[in-house]
């Protein structure tokens, strides 16, 4: 079953964000060498960190859980609605009583790792030639109406391509962003989190600087104020704002037009996990109250159920299969069955793997043989394990909930491809776990909502597999006890030889910014800087849809006000000259939005063949010795 074919129109326009970068003051003993960098102590991981990540998400007036449930009021004495707009419904505007429960461990330390407030309306602002009404709604009617919107203006007006497994070749999303408002320039605002008991009385509090929460870029799927038009055909000429909508494919889902106005503040990634909020020893109903200093009269309430640690149910298991209490955290593991003969696998050989997901204390989060079903995930019965839920992604525009196992190799041959039509290296996805929830909401496969995917999978190496070291990337997500965490771990195995091989070493230096509490281990998918060249394993498929490594990394960093380096100095991240020899409209457009005017307009919307927006510059004027002269490139 192809996961992409199952995508419904409501999530045809999704962003697949990558990483965020910031340069903050860090201690000198963390190292600042160039190149690959060294692993550093991760203050987030394990019970020794002393605190649990706290994720507070609020959507359209209600507290929200990453499995798609809206949080119920739970009888606590705070102002909170009786009905919520649930993103799990086929119609995102459906009102229903919330059923989710947000559990918080009492007598436990937390630190604020995410503060997210969103409000979205669908098909209310439908004029593609005038976004005045959308901006007026954001300024005057959304939850952010009390902010200082002076000097707000229209920002980028961009088109993004989304392929449905090749079945719909011209599915585009146009997004117009708004920015530069006075409130967005404030640097010293704060977020105060209070622990309330059942009567609404504060029992503990902690105040966090906004600067202590790292990521907020719209290009990484975080804060955004925008108007979107989804399921579009590509524009026919410069200035074409209404090219019509795609028609879908025979037997598939309706590709109806959708407009979406989004107002979202999302700050993620604590730079100070040691500033803790200690929850007193409470039990039963209560609430957390978050007050943003820029909206002091509009506090956000998150109904919770306090759970005394010793009274947690024993829903996890130890290595012997005995029931034990679950802890926060997530450790994604993959165990390989040994080769049939010798110490390495041979080309054409079947390789068996076992997916093993554990909490931070090593307890098993699922049964030995099966992962939870989609119904258990969206019903809150999966020990917090979550995965791709399309309507949730379409609502919050951040899709770091995709879980999967992806395999590629050999390491020495991994490279970013210039064109989608280029033949990739060996990519195998023996464990398409994300298929579960895609199919759950489409209804194309009756009964799949209750299917439990096996933890043991087998894939076959290609008969012509090159010798070397291969990588298996295991990424899963968990939302439990107030914590929202993604963890990706790499596992390596040998094919055709015992001698290990390594990455090409074309890019690196991430640890210049991303070290200590800002390390890549603690941001996004939880992958160490040592394996940055394996990002392309998942973020490059046989289409040029959103999420391609080279485009997203450039867009995020080149548009970040926190990126400290000269944007024309490619040597900051590129370690070899060869890695800079693929300039293209997609990459150069990260900085040069109006490059060459409309001269290459049609090429920018050409998704297949040569030239295309991902390779045309290198294929024509800017290849070899004709690279852009204004950039600083590696000498070799």
**pLDDT of res. 175:** 93
Backbone angles phi, psi at 76, to 5 degrees: -75, 145
Total domains present in the chain: 3
Tell me the two tokens of residue 206.
């902690």
Q: Within a 13 Å sphere around the CA of 303, how many CA atoms are in the beta-carbon half?
A: 24
**pLDDT of res. 29:** 35
209 shares a domain with 245:
yes
Nearest to residue 346, comparing CAs of 357, 356, 354, 338? 338
532 shares a domain with 485:
no
Task: Say if residues 297 and 289 touch (Cβ distance below 8 Å).
Answer: no
552 shares a domain with 613:
yes
Segment-wise mean pLDDT, segments of 10 residues, the chain, 636 residues? 32 28 31 36 48 92 90 92 74 75 95 93 93 97 96 90 58 91 93 97 96 81 90 89 76 68 92 90 97 97 96 95 94 94 95 92 94 87 85 73 83 76 61 46 64 87 92 91 91 96 90 78 75 80 62 84 85 88 80 78 72 72 74 87
Cα–Cα distance for residue pair 4/15, rounded to 1 Å? 14
**pLDDT of res. 624:** 65
Is residue 19 included in any domain, yes or no?
no
Q: How many Cβ atoms sit within 10 Å of the Cβ of residue 237?
A: 9
Task: Say if residues 570 and 579 touch (Cβ distance below 8 Å).
Answer: no
Beta strands at 300-307 and 103-105: parallel, antiparallel or unpaired: parallel
Domain that includes residue 460, residue range = 315-499
What is the residue-wise DSSP string for 263-318? Answer: EEEEEEEES-TTS-EEEPS--EEEEEEEEETTSTT--EEEEEEEE-GGG----EE-
**pLDDT of res. 549:** 76
464 shares a domain with 332:
yes
Domain stops at, among 258, 283, 310: 310
In this prediction the pTM is: 0.87
Residue 601 host element (H or E): helix 601-604
Is residue 441 included in any domain, yes or no?
yes
424 shares a domain with 301:
no
Tell me the CATH number at 418.
2.60.40.3880
| Number of residues in the chain | 636
Nearest to residue 518, comparing CAs of 33, 144, 93, 113? 113
Domain stops at, among 310, 343, 371: 310
Is residue 377 included in any domain, yes or no?
yes
Task: Say if residues 537 and 549 touch (Cβ distance below 8 Å).
Answer: no
Three-state SS string over 447-479 comes to CHHHCCCECEEEEECCCCCCCEEEEEEEEEEEE
Which residue, chain included where needed, has tokens 């989609």?
374
Which residue, chain included where needed, has tokens 């090159």?
466
Task: Say if residues 157 and 174 touch (Cβ distance below 8 Å).
Answer: yes
Nearest to residue 390, comparing CAs of 378, 382, 399? 399
H-state helical runs in 1-80: none
What number of helices (H) and strands (E) belong to the chain? 9, 26
- Report DSSP state, residue 9: G
Cα–Cα distance for residue pair 338/100, rounded to 1 Å? 43
3-state secondary structure of 434: coil
595 shares a domain with 543:
yes
**pLDDT of res. 130:** 94
Q: Which residues contact 577 (CB under 8 A, 6 or more apart)?
A: 633, 634, 635, 636
Q: Where are the beta strands (DSSP E) in 323-373?
A: 323-324, 331-336, 350-358
**pLDDT of res. 370:** 92
593 shares a domain with 492:
no
**pLDDT of res. 557:** 87
Cα 52 to chain center, whole Å? 20
Task: Say if residues 82 and 97 touch (Cβ distance below 8 Å).
Answer: yes
Cα–Cα distance for residue pair 13/339, rounded to 1 Å? 42
207 shares a domain with 64:
yes
457 shares a domain with 558:
no
Is residue 374 included in any domain, yes or no?
yes
Cα–Cα distance for residue pair 391/29, rounded to 1 Å? 45
Which residue, chain included where needed, has tokens 């993004």?
160
Is residue 26 included in any domain, yes or no?
no
Tell me the two tokens of residue 322.
């005995």
Q: Which residues contact 626 (CB under 8 A, 6 or more apart)?
A: none
327 shares a domain with 245:
no
Is residue 429 included in any domain, yes or no?
yes
Q: How many Cβ atoms sit within 10 Å of the Cβ of residue 53?
A: 23
Sheet holding 350-358, edge to edge: 331-336, 350-358, 456-460
Is residue 29 included in any domain, yes or no?
no
Among left, alpha and beta (phi > 0; psi -120 to 50; other), residue 165 is left
493 shares a domain with 511:
no
Backbone angles phi, psi at 154, to 5 degrees: -80, 130
List the Cα angle 422/425/429 in 5-degree steps: 115
Task: Say if residues 270 and 212 touch (Cβ distance below 8 Å).
Answer: yes
Task: Say if residues 508 and 535 touch (Cβ distance below 8 Å).
Answer: no
453 shares a domain with 382:
yes
Is residue 9 included in any domain, yes or no?
no
């Amino acid at each position: 079953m192809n996961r992409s074919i199952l995508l419904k129109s409501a999530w045809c326009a999704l962003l697949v964000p990558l990483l965020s970068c910031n340069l903050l003051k860090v201690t000198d003993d963390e190292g600042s060498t160039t190149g690959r960098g060294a692993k550093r102590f991760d203050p987030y991981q394990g019970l020794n960190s002393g605190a649990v990540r706290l994720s507070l998400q609020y959507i359209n007036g209600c507290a929200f859980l990453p499995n798609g449930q809206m949080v119920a009021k739970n009888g606590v004495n705070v102002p909170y609605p009786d009905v919520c707009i649930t993103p799990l419904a086929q119609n995102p505007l459906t009102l229903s009583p919330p059923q989710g429960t947000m559990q918080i461990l009492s007598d436990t330390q937390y630190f604020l790792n995410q503060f997210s407030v969103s409000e979205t309306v669908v098909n209310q602002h439908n004029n593609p030639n005038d976004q005045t009404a959308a901006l007026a709604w954001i300024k005057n009617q959304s939850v952010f109406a009390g902010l200082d919107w002076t000097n707000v203006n229209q920002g980028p007006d961009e088109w993004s391509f989304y392929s449905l497994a090749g079945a719909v070749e011209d599915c585009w999303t146009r997004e117009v962003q708004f920015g530069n408002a006075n409130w967005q320039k404030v640097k010293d605002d704060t977020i105060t989190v209070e622990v309330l008991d059942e009567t609404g009385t504060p029992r503990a509090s902690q105040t966090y600087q906004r600067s202590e929460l790292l990521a907020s870029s719209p290009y990484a799927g975080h804060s955004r104020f925008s108007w979107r038009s989804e399921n579009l055909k590509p524009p026919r000429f410069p200035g074409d704002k209404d090219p019509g909508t795609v028609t879908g494919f025979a037997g598939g889902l309706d590709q109806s037009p959708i407009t979406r106005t989004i107002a979202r503040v999302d700050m993620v990634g604590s730079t100070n996990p040691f500033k803790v909020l200690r929850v007193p020893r409470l039990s039963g109903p209560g609430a957390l109250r978050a007050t943003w200093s820029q909206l002091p009269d509009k506090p956000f309430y998150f109904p919770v159920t306090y759970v005394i640690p010793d009274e947690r149910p024993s829903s996890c298991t130890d290595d012997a299969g005995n029931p034990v209490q679950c802890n926060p955290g997530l450790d994604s593991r993959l165990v390989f069955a040994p080769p049939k003969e010798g110490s390495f696998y041979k080309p054409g050989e079947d390789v068996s793997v076992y997916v093993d997901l554990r909490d931070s204390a090593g307890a098993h989060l699922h049964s030995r043989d099966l992962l939870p079903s989609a119904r258990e995930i969206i019903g809150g019965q999966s020990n917090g394990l979550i995965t791709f839920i399309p309507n949730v992604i379409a609502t919050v525009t951040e899709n770091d909930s995709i879980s999967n196992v992806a395999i590629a190799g050999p390491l020495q041959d991994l490279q970013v491809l210039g064109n989608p039509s280029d033949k990739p290296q060996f990519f195998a996805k023996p464990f398409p776990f994300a298929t579960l929830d895609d199919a759950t909401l489409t209804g194309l496969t009756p009964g799949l909502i209750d299917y439990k995917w096996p933890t043991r999978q087998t894939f076959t190496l290609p008969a012509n597999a090159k010798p070397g070291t291969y990588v298996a990337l295991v990424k899963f997500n968990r939302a439990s006890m107030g914590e929202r965490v993604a963890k990706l771990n790499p596992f390596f195995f040998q094919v055709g030889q015992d001698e290990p091989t390594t990455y090409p070493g074309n890019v690196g230096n991430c640890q210049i910014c991303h070290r200590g509490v800002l390390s890549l281990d603690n941001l996004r998918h939880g992958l160490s800087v040592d394996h940055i060249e394996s990002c392309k394993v998942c973020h490059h498929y046989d289409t040029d849809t959103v999420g391609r490594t080279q485009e997203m990394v450039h867009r995020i960093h080149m548009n970040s006000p926190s990126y400290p380096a000269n944007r024309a100095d490619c040597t900051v991240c590129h370690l070899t000259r060869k890695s800079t020899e693929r300039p293209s409209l997609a990459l150069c457009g990260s900085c040069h939005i109006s490059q060459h005017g409309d001269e290459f307009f049609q090429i920018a919307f050409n998704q297949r063949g040569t030239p295309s927006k991902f390779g045309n510059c290198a294929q024509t004027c800017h290849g070899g010795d004709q690279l852009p002269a204004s950039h600083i490139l590696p000498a070799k």
